[in-house]
Amino acid sequence: MTNSLVFKKAKTHLVGGVNSPVRSFKYVGTAPLLIKRGKGPRVYDYDGNSYIDYVLSYGVSILGHAHPGVVRSLKNTLEHGAGFGATNSREVELAGLIKKADPVIEKLRFVNSGTEAVLGATRLAKACTGRDKIIKFRNSYHGHADYLLEEIDKGSAEGIFKKHGSRIAGVIVEPVGGNCGVRLPDKDFLKYLRRITRKYGSLLIFDEVITGFRFKFGSVSDILGVKPDLICLGKIIGGGLPIGAYGGKARIMNKLAPLGDLYQGSTFAGNPIVMQSGIATLKVLSSSKNRYSSLEKKAKKLTDAIKKERDDLQVIHYKTIFSLRFRKKAHFQSFYKKLLKKGIYLAPSENEANFISFSHTEKDIDKTIDAVKNVLREI
C-alpha cells in the first residue's frame, strides 16, 4: 500500500477520507499525511518516509509512540479479555493515580473522549444548580456537542452574568488555550471567573483535556493557583487509547447515578485495556516528574530559535506546547508543505497546538531547527 492508494480508498469509504476534519490537511492545502506506524518521536507513512512528530496524536502521546513499557503492559492485559462492562481494579488504580496528582478531584468518572468528559461535566453543572445555561469563550474548543459550539467573548462575561446570572449553571474554560493556536493563561481572568461563579452560585469547569498532565504531573490549575469545581481530562491519561474523565468534589460528583439522579452511562467507560494504558503511562510520568523541566527546555530551545527568524511569524510558546502563525495564511501553507517534505510533522493548522514528548531528543530538536531555518529562507 502507498500513501495515495490508502487515501484513494479512504475517500470511497470515509467522509472526505477522514474521521476528523483536521486530518484532511485542508487548511494547509496539501495531501494529508497518512501514518502507518510510530515509534518514539517519529511517525512513518505508507511510502516509507519518516517524520519527527510534533502533533503526537493532538497532544496525547507525551511519552512518544509505542513506549515499550506501555506496549508490554497492554499486551499482557489483552490476554485476559478486552472488556466486560463491569468495575475492575484498573479503573480504581487509574482513578487513584489521578486523584493523588490532582487535589481538586475527590471523585471522578471515566468516559471515552474529551467531548464526553465535557458533556458529562456540563450536564452535571446543570443538574447540581437546577439551571440551564453554560458559558464558553470564543476561540476555545470543548468538543463537538452543538451547544458547546456557542460562545461569548471574554469581555462579555460580566454582562452575561448580570443579565442571566440566576440561569448560569457553569462556565467552562481552557485554562491554557490550545485550540486557536496556543493562548497563554490569563491568571487574573481565571481568578475573576472563580470569584464571579462563586458569587452567582455557578460552577467553574476547567477543560484540561489538553493541559492535564501536559505541564506537570497533574492539572495546570495547580500551577495557576485557581481551583475549579470540576476538571475535564482526556488525551494523556489514556496513554494513546480513547479516554475522557471528569471529576471534582465528592458532593458534586455524587449527584451522578447510582448515588444521585443524573443518569450517565457508557458501554466502554473504564475499559481495562484503556485503563492499563493510562496506568502504565502515568506511572512512567510520575517517575519522570522532575523531567517535565527537560521538556520545557526542549520546547524553549526550539521556539526561541524559530522566533528569531522572521517578523511575520508569531511563535506562541507555553511550557511544553507551542503554535505558529504567519501574517499570511499562504505563507504558513508553503512553510508547512516544505517542512513536511523535510520530515518535520507539525500540526496541519495554525489553530492547532504542537507538542513536545519525552522521546524527542536534543538531536531531533536541532534537526527541526535546521529544517525550519532552511524553509523560512525559501519562502
Ligand X SMILES: Cc1ncc(COP(=O)(O)O)c(C=O)c1O
How does DSSP classify residue 31? P
Q: Out of 28, 209, 279, 302, which residue is the one contacting ligand X (CB under 6 A)?
A: 209
Which residue's CB comes closest to ligand X? Answer: 114
Is the CB of 40 or the CB of 143 nearer to ligand X? 143
The residues annotated with a catalytic role in the active site are: 141, 207, 235
Pairing of strands 107-111, 133-135: unpaired
Residue 17 corresponds to which cell in the numbers above? Answer: 477520507
Which residue in the block uniquely carries the three cell numbers 448580570?
A: 162
Number of residues that bind ligand X (CB under 6 A): 15
Site residues for ligand X, 1-40, by CB under 6 A, read: none
> Minimum distance between the CB of residue 376 and ligand X, rounded to whole angstroms?
28
Is the CB of 91 or the CB of 352 nearer to ligand X? 352
Long-range contacts of 24-32 (CB under 8 A, 24+ apart): 25/348, 27/333, 27/348, 27/349, 27/350, 27/351, 28/332, 28/333, 28/336, 28/337, 28/348, 28/349, 29/333, 29/337, 30/333, 30/336, 30/337, 30/340, 31/3, 31/4, 31/7, 32/7, 32/348
The residue range among 41-49, 110-118, 216-224, 254-262 that interacts with ligand X, by the rule CB under 6 A, is 110-118
Residue 177 corresponds to which cell in the numbers above? Answer: 488555550
210 binds ligand X (CB under 6 A): yes
Site residues for ligand X, 211-250, by CB under 6 A, read: 234
Is the CB of 220 or the CB of 302 nearer to ligand X? 220
125 vs 317: CA distance, rounded Å: 32
How does DSSP classify residue 32? P
Site residues for ligand X, 248-307, by CB under 6 A, read: none
Site residues for ligand X, 131-190, by CB under 6 A, read: 141-143, 174, 178-179
Q: Out of 118, 128, 233, 302, which residue is the one contacting ligand X (CB under 6 A)?
A: 118
Applying CB under 6 A, the residues found at the interface with ligand X are 58, 113-115, 118, 141-143, 174, 178-179, 207, 209-210, 234
